[in-house]
């Protein structure tokens, strides 16, 4: 692509580094920004740079935070004995959006995946063990994706936590709401039958 301005070429190249954004989309975005007020575009650039520069990770649960301890961990209205283990901060957001969970979180920062070279030592596992050991955690909910890597991580962690008096649960696997039974894979369908629930738990909100 021929650009008549190095400034534009530079901006397009930076946008095109983002996932799912090719050169053409990048150019469209840059031309859109060109039409905006200088102040607005500056705000945009600064918001991004500031976000990366000033963001912190909660010392307790490793979630993103503006403070040393995140809002969830420092809240007094949360059940402190229940910890929901998730892979990434995106999962925290997803669960928080349901407004159904009132415990704390622990962000692993990935899952055990030998193919991608991710072993237990790269994940926030030691700090989870410390929390279980010292902070009176009674239940750890493993909210990891139902993949081979997820299951491996759950298995590894359950062995690590075995020596402490803590209940380990996983989120329910089954047919999603709105999902069609006949298109569900065999594994999910089989599990959803063997883990069938009494009707009153279904009716509950």
Sign of CA dihedral 100, 169, 115, 147: negative
Using the rule CB under 8 A, which residue among 22, 23, 36, 155 binds a copy of itself? 36
d(CA 147, CA 60): 27
Pick one of 22, 23, 31, 173: the residue that binds a copy of itself (CB under 8 A).
31
Count of residues interacting with a copy of itself (CB under 8 A): 58
Name the strand (E) or helix (H) holding 107: strand 104-107
The pairing of beta strand 82-86 with beta strand 104-107:
parallel
Closest CA to 105 of 152, 153, 57: 57
Q: Which is nearer to a copy of itself, 83 or 154 (CB)?
A: 83
Distance CA 67, CA 151 (A): 32
Q: Does 26 bind a copy of itself (CB under 8 A)?
A: no
Binding mask 45-64 toward a copy of itself (x if CB under 8 A, else -) reads: xxxxxxxxxxx-------xx
28 binds a copy of itself (CB under 8 A): yes
**Pairing of the two strands 82-86 and 64-65:** unpaired
Q: Which of 126, 65, 125, 120 is nearest to 92 (CA)?
A: 65
Beta carbon of residue 9, minimum distance to a copy of itself (angstroms, whole number)? 9
Figure out which of the listed residues 22, 71, 136, 146 binds a copy of itself, where binding follows CB under 8 A.
71
Q: Which is nearer to a copy of itself, 5 or 169 (CB)?
A: 5
Quick note: the x/- pattern for a copy of itself over 82-121, rule CB under 8 A, is ------xxx-xx--xx------------------------
* Structure letter (DSSP) for residue 113: B
Minimum CB separation from a copy of itself for residue 66, in Å?
Answer: 5
- Burial zone of 106 (CB within 10 Å; 0-12 exposed, 13-18 middle, 19+ buried): buried
Instruction: List residues binding a copy of itself (CB under 8 A).
Output: 1-8, 10-11, 13-15, 17-21, 25, 27-34, 36, 38, 41-55, 63-66, 70-72, 88-90, 92-93, 96-97
């Amino acid at each position: 692509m021929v650009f008549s301005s190095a400034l534009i070429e530079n901006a397009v190249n930076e946008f095109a580094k983002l996932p799912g954004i090719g050169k053409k989309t990048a150019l469209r975005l840059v031309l859109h920004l060109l039409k905006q007020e200088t102040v607005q575009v500056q705000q945009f650039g600064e918001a991004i740079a500031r976000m990366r520069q000033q963001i912190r990770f909660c010392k307790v649960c490793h979630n993103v935070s503006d403070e040393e301890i995140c809002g969830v961990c420092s809240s007094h209205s949360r059940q402190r004995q229940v910890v929901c283990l998730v892979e990434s901060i995106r999962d925290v957001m997803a669960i928080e959006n349901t407004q159904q969970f009132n415990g704390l979180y622990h962000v692993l920062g990935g899952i055990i995946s030998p193919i991608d070279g991710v072993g237990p030592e790269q994940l926030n596992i030691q700090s989870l063990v410390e929390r279980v050991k010292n902070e009176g955690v009674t239940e750890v909910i493993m909210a990891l994706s139902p993949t081979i890597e997820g299951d491996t991580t759950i298995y590894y962690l359950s062995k690590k936590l075995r020596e402490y008096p803590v209940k380990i649960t996983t989120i329910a696997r089954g047919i999603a709401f709105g999902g069609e039974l006949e298109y569900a894979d065999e594994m999910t369908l089989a599990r959803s039958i063997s883990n069938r629930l009494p009707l009153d738990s279904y009716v509950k909100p």
